[in-house]
Amino acid sequence: MSGTTAEPAEGEVTATEEVEGHGGEEQEYTLSSRIEHLNHELSVLALWGPLEEQQAEHAEPMSVVSSSWNLGSLASNFTLTNYTFWMMPAVLLLVLFFMAARSAAKVSLAKADYVPKGILNVAEAGVDLVRGNICTDVMGPEGAKYFPFVGTVFFFVLFNNLLGNIPPALPGTGTLGTTFLWGIIVFVVYNGIGIKKNGLGRYMKSFIPSGTPGAMKPLIFLLEIVSHFLRPITLGIRLYANMYAGHIMLGVFAIFCAVAIKNFTPVGAVVLPLSFLMQVVLRAFELFVAVLQAYIFSILTAVYINGALHAAEH
Amino acid sequence: MEVIGSISALGAGLAFGLGAIGPAIGIGMIGGKTIESMARQPEMAGRLQTTMFIALGMAEAIALLGFVLAFILQGVGA
């Protein structure tokens, strides 16, 4: 499989044609090769990238964009994969959604009609969730001050996750680059807030809880430093693993369906409806996971900011 | 080299599989206790849920370390 992944999109198309040409001769008709070829056919349809594509060290851009965009020597490693491509429509939708909600709010304020309807209602529910359930519940009344950042995180992740559930699209958060970057942004922001609020000396001192015996202090300090550096990593991996693994599952059952249709046997007749049903169930579960992961990501952001704010107290 | 590759692949699977046992038990306990508390005091459900998600995040983080370790071990054989 590694031989074909290195080929550009055109090569993939010819590879698929070859498979269909050899199909009658029954050369290497094992199930695993079958699944490999089907996997490539699906990727040609831009429904699904080859399973190991994302794990490859230098992931080739997938079929939506035919070649990597060379942005000069500084950014020559930049490749637009399917995942990162779908981040752009998601952000565009996010901006358009809130611009529409803003203009709806202006209209309703001008008419002195304070009951939100339609898009404004949805936007208000979302904002209320983040400001009420995430910011002020975790950080207390002063949490509303950090709503802009936490809200940005929440809605970016939410729109990416949800867009990934519309079949040709993939979640922009289903790739480590995006999620790690957000983890690092959260790390920088919450440490910045902590240092700004407490001063560098007191913030660093807070890494050692009061009442620690003298000999234990260096060890505890080291442990706290490690646990702080693990935070962006776990934030990033949690989101990436949830989004990517969900789509792997969907892809596996899609391949099952495709295999069962292609060589229709009595076993296939049983597998096909079951895996189709599994697709439906998993799709519903993915919708739930999309919202849940956005919630968890932003609530942990709020918890970290809260910890940094009250660092001097313990 | 092939032996190292296959052993590290096995190790990667074991690292994640064994590393997920503890967090899985922990997440189960967190979820179960939260349901228990919500049944006792339904008026506290909102705050309990928030706390539950925070605790879930902490427990999950340990499983994710195994996930990273699995990727690192896969790289050893390749």
Q: What proportion of chain A, given as a percentage, has pLDDT over 90?
A: 24
For A235, which residue in chain B has the nearest alpha carbon? B61
Q: Which residues of B touch A234 (CB under 8 A)?
A: 57, 60-61, 64-65
Could you tell me if residue A108 is inside a domain? yes
CB B63 within 8 A of CB B20: yes
Q: Kindly state the DSSP code that residue A8 receives in the 8-state scheme.
A: -
Chain B: residue whose CA lies nearest to A134: B50
Neighbouring residues of A175: CB distance < 8 A, sequence distance ≥ 6: A54, A81, A83, A84, A240, A244
Model confidence pLDDT, tens digit, residues B1-50: 678 778 888 888 888 899 899 999 999 999 999 999 999 999 988 888 88
Alpha helices (H) in chain A, listed in sequence order = 2-5, 9-22, 31-44, 82-110, 118-128, 137-139, 147-163, 176-198, 200-205, 217-262, 266-309
When the pLDDT of each residue in chain A is averaged and rounded to a whole number, the result is 78
Distance of CA A43 to the CA centre of its chain: 20
Is there a contact between A299 and B54 if contact means CB atoms under 8 Å apart? Answer: yes
**pLDDT classification of A35: cutoffs 50, 70, 90:** low
Q: What is the pTM of this model?
A: 0.73
Cβ neighbours of B72 in A, within 8 Å: none
Which string of DSSP letters, residue by residue, matches A183-196? HHHHHHHHHHHHHH
Q: Is residue A119 part of a domain?
A: yes
CA distance A36 to B1: 25
For residue A120, being part of any structural domain is answered with: yes
Asked whether residue A1 is assigned to any structural domain, the reply reads no
Share of chain B above pLDDT 90, in %: 27
What pLDDT, on the 0 to 100 scale, is given for residue A83? Answer: 83
Quick check: is A187 in a domain? yes
* Whole-number Å distance between alpha carbons of A15 and A19: 6
- Structure tokens of A306? 């809260």
Task: Please give the Cα distance from A258 to A279 (Å, whole number).
Answer: 12
Residue of A134, A226, A300, A304 to mutate, testing the B interface (most B Cβ within 10 Å of its Cβ): A300
Q: What is the pLDDT of residues A277-300, one digit of tens each?
A: 989 999 998 999 899 999 999 999
pLDDT of residue A5: 43
Q: State the total domains in chain A.
A: 1
Range of A121's domain? 24-313
Q: From CA A101, how far away is CA A107, in angstroms rounded? A: 10
Judge: B61–A238 Cβ closer than 8 Å, yes or no.
Answer: yes
Angstrom distance (rounded) from CA A37 to CA A34:
5
| Whether complex ipTM tops 0.90 | no
Cβ B56–A300 below 8 Å, yes or no?
no
Distance separating alpha carbons of residues A8 and A40, to the nearest angstrom = 12
The answer to whether position A280 is within a domain reads yes
Residue A13 within a domain: no
Between CA A112 and CA A205 the distance in angstroms is: 52
Q: Which of A237, A299, A303 shows the shortest C-beta gap to B68? A: A237
> Is residue A18 one of the residues assigned to a domain?
no
> What is the model's pLDDT at position A54?
44
Q: What is the pLDDT of residues A196-205, one digit of tens each?
A: 988 888 888 8
Can you tell me whether residue A263 is helix, strand or coil?
Answer: coil
CB pairs under 8 A between A and B: 37
Contact assignment for A230 to B61 by CB distance below 8 Å = yes
Per-residue pLDDT tens digits for A95-126: 999 999 999 888 888 887 778 788 888 999 99
Query: Which residues have CB under 8 Å from B68's CB, separation 6+?
Result: A233, A237
| Structure letter (DSSP) for residue A71 | B
